[in-house]
Amino acid sequence: MKKIAVLLGGCGKEREISLKSGKATVEAINDLGYEVIEIDVPSNLNDFSKNLEQLKPDVVFNCLHGQLGEDGIIQAILNKLEIPYTHSGVKASEQAMDKWQTFEIFKNYGIPTPDTIKVNLSDNQTPLMELPFVVKPINEGSSIGISVVTSYEQWEELRKNWQFGTECIVQKYLKYREIHVAILNDVALGTIEICPNNTFEFFTYQAKYVVGESTFICPAPISEMETKLANETALRAYRSFNCRGLARVDMLFDGNIFYVLELNTQPGFTGTSLAPQIAKSQGISFNELVNQMIDCARCD
């Protein structure tokens, strides 16, 4: 019987989301008949490594989100221990977590993406971009820290109270339909459209995780040709990072072009999360999705 270690929790800002992903995954693994071990990842990574060496799992199912679990650090540890793990490897994880690197990779591969600049907040400068614009932390997920700025007074206030390091990215604000694509093992599974309530300017943390704040339409109500273009654009993004396993590509659609916002190498993972919803629309149950991810787990 395979022994599967599920990494969850952690000490980052996305701990609560990770706990939900991990608990759902543990239930699925139990249903599949594997031996499962829950590991709430501590801040002391030496202790974490020693624990894994003692447990000797056959596979690690990574349900961590954000820093530590999604930025290549955990992946590097698992590579060193030679324990196969789910989702992408070190380089893809590290690059996709960094929104500035993500923008540069998309531009280098000719993948449509909103105009973006990097700003050093200690320079006391106004971004050279037309209002409104979007301000994002460089290394956070789940829409944490993202703001739509509509005035330079608002920018100054945000700059003074910034809590995510000395730099940020500033991105052109595009008010288009939000379409996401889930990809599993280099195959686009399908689309979902996210429709936040009118009170939201974008798909915020609250819009993502509070029941009733957004409507999800799966598959997205777009034409066959538009669906093909969405899948092709998302696959180009996935391949430009050399991803593997499950990922989700978030895009904005203006009716002609899909603009890629970001690539999530560790997307939310409960039965009602976006990627599992897309998989379900294609006849892949949550348990089967978990099983497929376990089967394709590997090291770099």
Residues 68 and 107 in one domain: no
Report pLDDT for 212: 54
Q: Give me Rg for the CA atoms of the chain.
A: 19
Residue 259 belongs to a domain: yes
Q: How confident is the model at residue 178 (pLDDT cuts 50, 70, 90)?
A: very high
In the chain, the amino acid numbered 124 is N
Residues 266 and 210 in one domain: yes
- Please write the tens of the pLDDT for every residue from 80-125: 999 999 999 999 999 999 999 999 999 999 999 999 999 998 887 7
Residues 106 and 120 in one domain: no
HSE of 100, CA atoms in CB hemisphere, 13 A: 12
Q: Comparing 162 with 199, which gets the higher pLDDT?
A: 162
pLDDT of 201 over the 80 cut: no
- Please write the tens of the pLDDT for every residue from 78-90: 999 999 999 999 9
pLDDT of 209 over the 50 cut: no
Q: CATH number of the domain that 152 lies in?
A: 3.30.1490.20
Give the total number of structural domains in the chain: 3
Residue 131 belongs to a domain: yes
Residues 104 and 134 in one domain: no
pLDDT of 58 over the 90 cut: yes
Residues 158 and 244 in one domain: no
Residue 251 belongs to a domain: yes
DSSP symbol at 85: B
First to last CA, the chain: 24
Highest mean pLDDT among 45-54, 139-148, 212-221: 45-54
Residues 163 and 220 in one domain: no
- Residue 5 CB contacts under 8 Å (≥ 6 apart), including other chains: 36, 37, 39, 52, 55, 57, 59, 60, 61, 83
- Please write the tens of the pLDDT for every residue from 251-260: 999 999 999 9
d(CA 209, CA 279): 19
Which of 87, 103, 134 is at the close of a domain?
A: 87
pTM, 2 dp:
0.92
Enter the tokens of residue 243.
């991803």
Report pLDDT for 282: 95
d(CA 114, CA 169): 11
Residue 252 belongs to a domain: yes
Residue 289 belongs to a domain: yes
Q: CATH number of the domain that 103 lies in?
A: 3.30.470.20
In the chain, the amino acid numbered 46 is N
Residues 126 and 26 in one domain: no
Residues 185 and 134 in one domain: no
- Please write the tens of the pLDDT for every residue from 232-288: 999 999 999 999 999 999 999 999 999 999 999 999 998 889 999 999 999 999 999
- Computed over every residue of the chain, the mean pLDDT equals 92
Residue 101 belongs to a domain: yes
Considering the chain, what percentage of its residues have pLDDT values greater than 90? 83
Kindly give the residue spans of alpha helices, DSSP state H, lying in the chain: 15-32, 45-55, 73-81, 90-97, 99-108, 152-160, 205-209, 224-240, 274-281, 286-295
Q: Residue 42 in contact with residue 51, Cβ under 8 Å?
A: no
Residue 300 belongs to a domain: no
Domain that holds residue 154: 116-172
Q: Please, what is the angle between helix 286-295 and helix 274-281, to 10°?
A: 100
Residues 168 and 183 in one domain: no
Residues 123 and 102 in one domain: no
Residues 56 and 38 in one domain: yes
Residues 201 and 267 in one domain: yes
Q: CATH number of the domain that 42 lies in?
A: 3.40.50.20
Show which residues are catalytic: 14, 142, 209, 248, 250, 262, 264, 268
Which of 172, 197, 212 is at the close of a domain?
A: 172
